[in-house]
Structure 1
Amino acid sequence: MEFNFENELKDKIALVTGGSKGAGKAIADRLLKAGATVIITARNKPEEENENTHFIAADLSKPEGTQKVVDEILQKFGRLDILINNLCGSETPGGGFAVLSDEDWESSFQTNLLAPVRLDRGFLPGMISQGNGVIIHIASIQAKLPLYDSTLLYAAAKAALVNYSKSLSNEVAPKGVRVLTVSPGWIMTIASARMMERIAESSGGSVEQAASGVMDALGGIPFGRAAWPQEVAELVGFLVSPRAAYLTGTEYVIDGGTIPTL
């Protein structure tokens, strides 16, 4: 079997949620380079618009937001071949379990679990009907390494997403649809870089010292740095390609060795 890496996603229609910045933007750019027609969603338009991508403004934490995206894509494009559920949100207030309200829990699960579930439900019938499709759920190593004072809600939602993704893959693999999970560790996005600058400024130390402190909080990163968004995007680009045609139901961790167990 031969593959054309430069144009391997030609004629494929892909959606990347949270695709306006960070890893989502890198994934969208990677799929574009492979020849796909790429749609991105976010609440607000990207600061740097790409005329080659199609943008849909939507709040995916609400059912009407996910339905808007499903309706617009199916009306305009007629189908979806690749769904990258990249949107995430982690806004846990400090203080542990006692400070978390029902509203905090519900908000996190709406964004990190139910938004992907609703989009899957909206696009899977078409994928099953055409006999092919790929769904990627972007989870997190926090599903296995939760930080009780900063990622308790996010970690619980991502753990549920990993479990759901595996179950879904078992159901739809016989129908031609591949479902996979990608769980990144710390990613050096623009937002992460700004956070390091703020930590350095408040502590009186350097950006390098701030980054080292974050890595220590994670238990250390053997590779010695955070991942670049493009590195996560390259893994996703491979997984949605014909080269990965036999891969489904698996979680791929990209964390520089952060998780200390097998």
Structure 2
Amino acid sequence: MSSGDRRVCLLTGAGGTLGSEFCRRLYTDYDIVAVHRERVPPAPSQHEWFIDPFAPASPVPENDARVHLIRADLTAPGAIERVVDLALARFGRVDLLVNNASYAGYHTNGLVDGDAALADFGATFGTNVEVPLRMSVRLAQRAWLHDAERNRARNRNVVNVSCASGAEVYSGGQALYSASKAALNHLTRHLAREFTEFGVRVNAIAPNTFPGVTPVENVLRAIYELDSGAMTGGVFDVDDADEEPPAGRHALPA
């Protein structure tokens, strides 16, 4: 079960750039269920137990805030249901769902150069649209749907990780990826309208390429602010500038 103090976060795409940084920076602030495929996020997990060699009997802080890893291919039949059930069995609840898993197949020679783009359609929309939809719906059905009072009390919410290309046309063969993120943006608005009935907020963030254009720190801060806030149904840009948060905005935990 959860420690009771920390919020429980179910995070997909935990082995990627953003997911790894989320786990590394915030594993002491959230009880994190980190869903990954091949790469493992760089944070203490349930597969490790730490001992101070100079004081073997003394408590070690890392043992109190370990990430709970789940390896899964979320596009496989039944995988999402298994992940949701394992998360609820481990912590008893989920307060924040971050749909961060993503698939990006770029087709630099265009959509009509052979069948590469057509072949990638299922993987692109399956990962970038269907997985966030299924994850949100299954979590709602299994944990949130009949718990409106506690949902509101715990400020439960979903954050979908979209992209600036969901609203812009960029070069580089991003047609399918951009279209899937545009679909995710609009799906976010519909989920927000439906989930508000049982007290759960839904928003999306739309950063530019990170860390190349947008610092990962700023993307993390955007998720943290949405989790702490009261907004719903929004698709929010993320600041590109690497700067201290303005007055009134949340600073990430050190």
Normalising to structure 1: TM-score of the pair?
Answer: 0.73
86, 97, 110: which one pairs with 1:72?
Answer: 86
Give the corresponding residue for 1:106. Answer: 122
Q: Answer 1 or 2: which has greater helix percent.
A: 1
User: How far is 1:103 from its partner?
Assistant: 2.6
1:68-147 matches, within 5 Å, as 68-99=82-113, 100-125=116-141, 126-131=143-148, 132=151, 133-147=156-170
Give the corresponding residue for 1:212. Answer: none
Please list the CA deviations of residues 155-175 of structure 1 after superposition, one character each: whole Å capped at 9, or x if unmatched.
Answer: 011000000100110111132
User: How far is 1:149 from its partner?
Assistant: 4.0
User: How far is 1:234 from its partner?
Assistant: 1.1
Unaligned 5+ segments in structure 2 are 46-65, 242-254
236, 241, 246: which one pairs with 1:252?
Answer: 236
217, 229, 233: which one pairs with 1:230?
Answer: 217
Q: How much is the aligned-residue C-alpha RMSD, in angstroms?
A: 2.0
For 1:36 and 1:49, the matched residues in 2 are separated by: 12
SS at match of 1:137: strand
Give the corresponding residue for 2:20. Answer: 25
Structure 2 vs 1, CA of residues 47 and 29 (structure 1 numbering), >3 Å: closer, same or farther? closer
Mean CA deviation greater in 127-136 or 152-161: 127-136
For 1:165 and 1:238, the matched residues in 2 are separated by: 17
**Aligned residues: percent identity?**
25
SS at match of 2:146: helix
- Answer 1 or 2: higher relative contact order, Cα 8 Å, separation at least 6: 1
1:46 maps to 2:40 = yes
User: How far is 1:127 from its partner?
Assistant: 1.9
For 1:17 and 1:111, the matched residues in 2 are separated by: 11
User: How far is 1:89 from its partner?
Assistant: 1.5
User: How far is 1:143 from its partner?
Assistant: 0.6
Give the corresponding residue for 2:204. Answer: 181
Unaligned 5+ segments in structure 1 are 1-8, 193-225, 258-262
For 1:184 and 1:62, the matched residues in 2 are separated by: 28
For 1:147 and 1:101, the matched residues in 2 are separated by: 16
User: How far is 1:114 from its partner?
Assistant: 0.6
Give the corresponding residue for 2:75. Answer: 61
Normalising to structure 2: TM-score of the pair?
Answer: 0.75
Please list the CA deviations of residues 115-141 of structure 1 after superposition, one character each: whole Å capped at 9, or x if unmatched.
Answer: 111101110121232221210000001
Mean CA deviation greater in 95-104 or 37-46: 95-104
Size of the alignment, in residue pairs? Answer: 209
User: How far is 1:47 from its partner?
Assistant: 6.3
Mean CA deviation greater in 16-25 or 133-142: 16-25
Structure 2 vs 1, CA of residues 160 and 43 (structure 1 numbering), >3 Å: closer, same or farther? same
8 Å CA contact 1:82–1:240 kept in 2: the answer is yes
